[in-house]
Amino acid sequence: MVTKLVILLVVVLGILAIAQMMRVYELSSKLTNKQEHEISNRDNNMNAKLMLLFMIVLFGSFIWMILKYGWTGRGEAAAPHGRELDWLMNLNLIIITITFFLTNTLLFFFSYKYVKKEGVPALYYPHNNKLEMLWTVVPACVLAVIIILGLKKWNEATDLAKPEAIVVELFSKQFDWTARYSGVNNKLGYFDYKLTTDNNELAIMTTNTIDSAIYQMESGTTGMEALEAKLNDPNIVMVPEDREKMEADLARKERMIRLLYQMREKHDSELDALAWDDIIQKDTLYLCKNKEYEFNFRSKDVIHSAYFPHFRAQMNTVPGLTTRFKFTPDISTAEMKKIKDDENFNYVLLCNKICGGAHYKMRMMVVVLEEADYNDWMRSKLNKTFKDTYFPQAAPVEQVVEEADVEEVEAGEDNPENEGE
C-alpha cells in the first residue's frame, strides 16, 4: 500500500516537473524572441540523427533476440502435421522479417537522409500510379499465397480422421480438463447437457442417466416437488423477490422435465453400450505414439481453447457445439526428454483463452507412450469405465458389457418416475 502511494506520488511529481520545464522553455523562447513553431536546423539535425540511432537500436535488439532465443523458440514439433505447420510458420516469419527490415529502413533512413536543409525546397509529389499498383499487387499476391497454404493445412487438421483413429473427447470447464476415451468399441457415448448430475459430470446419455436426471429434477432436494412444497407451505414466509425467483426456477424445471421425458422416449437403449465402456480420465492425458487421434471438444460454461503447443494444435471449445481436430503424436515423451536433454520435460495441454480468474491453472499433462506401454495403461483402465464409476459396485470387467443391457431394462422398469409417461 505504501509502495503504491510512493509510486503514485513520484508519477504526479514527474508530470508536474515536466510541465514546469516546458513552461521554462516557453518563457526562455520568448526572452530570445524565438517563435515556438520555428524549429532550428540544429534541432532538425538532432532529430534526424536520433531517427537513425533508433533504427540501429531496433534492428540490433531484434537480431540479438533471435540469436539469444532462437529463430522462433518453438522447439521441435512432436507430430508430422506440426512439422508441416512449422514450415508454413517459417515462411510467414521470413516474409514478415523481410518486410520489417524493408519498411523500417525506408521510414527511419529517409527521415535521416531527407532532413530539412537550408535552401532546398520540399518536392511536391502527390501521386504515382505505378507505385500504388506495386504496393497493392505485391502484398495481395503474397497474402493470397499465405492464406491459401494456411487454409489447406487447416482443412487437413480439421478433416475427418481415419476410421481407425482413436476417438478422445476433451471436456473443458472452469477450470480444468477431463478426457473421455471411447473405450473398447471406439465410439463415444452420446451426451446432453440436461443430464448433468453430481455423478455424471460429462452429462453422458444412457437409459439410466436419463432416469436419474428425471428423478433428481422431480424428487431431489432442490427438485420440483420440494420447490412446490415450499411455495405452498402457509408456514413459510418469503419476501416477494425470493418467491418470484423460486417460481421462475420451478418454471424452468418444468420445461426441462418435459424435454427430459421426450429424451427418455426417443432414447434407444441399444446406444447405452457405447457410453458404459467410455473411460473418464483427469489430470493426465495418455496418448499412443504413431496412432492417429481424433479429439472432440466440448465446453460446459464459457469458450476455452485447447492448445497443444508441442503438437502445434489449437481449437476453441464452445458451449453447445462440438469442435474437432486430429493429429498423430510421433515422438514419445521419453524420446522428447532426450531430444531436449531435460528429465523434467512433459507435453502439456493448456487453455489458451482467458476464461476466468483461475484460467492459468487450466492445464493437463500429456504423456505419449510407446504402444506396449500404452496398451498396458489402457488395460489397467478397463475396469474403471464410466459404468464402474457410475455404479461403484459394478460387476467384474468381463461381465460389464453383457450385463449392461439387462440392468438398464430393470432400472427402467423399477423406476417409479417412468409411470408418468
Q: Which residues bind to Cu ion, rule: CB under 5 A?
A: 304, 351, 355, 362
Task: Tell me the C-alpha distance between 218 and 81, whole Å.
Answer: 50
CB of 299 to Cu ion, least distance (A): 8
Asked whether 166 and 378 are in contact (CB, 8 A), the reply is: no
CB of 175 to Cu ion, least distance (A): 6
CB of 293 to Cu ion, least distance (A): 21
Report DSSP letters for 297-350, one per residue.
EEESSS-EEEEEGGGTEEEEEBBTB-EEEEE---S-HHHHHHHHT-TT--EEEE
CB of 170 to Cu ion, least distance (A): 11
CB of 351 to Cu ion, least distance (A): 3
CA torsion through residues 81, 169, 163, 155, sign? negative
Q: Provide the b/e sequence for 334-349 (b: ≥16 CB within 10 Å).
A: eebeeeeeeeebebeb
* Secondary structure E strands in 53-165: none
Q: Is 362 or 366 the residue whose CB approaches Cu ion more closely?
A: 362
Q: Which three cell numbers stand for residue 396?
A: 467384474
Q: Is 114 or 360 the residue whose CB approaches Cu ion more closely?
A: 360
Q: Is 176 or 373 the residue whose CB approaches Cu ion more closely?
A: 176
CB of 295 to Cu ion, least distance (A): 16
User: 287 Cβ partners below 8 Å, 6+ apart?
Assistant: 293, 329, 366, 367, 368, 369, 374
CB of 136 to Cu ion, least distance (A): 40
Q: How many CB atoms lie within 10 A of CB 74?
A: 15
Q: Is 253 or 353 the residue whose CB approaches Cu ion more closely?
A: 353
SS3 content of the chain, % helix, strand, coil (to 5): 55, 15, 30
Q: Is 323 or 415 the residue whose CB approaches Cu ion more closely?
A: 323
Q: Is 83 or 361 the residue whose CB approaches Cu ion more closely?
A: 361
Q: Which three cell numbers stand for residue 119?
A: 535552401
Task: Tell me the C-alpha distance between 220 and 212, whole Å.
Answer: 10
Q: Is 275 or 349 the residue whose CB approaches Cu ion more closely?
A: 349
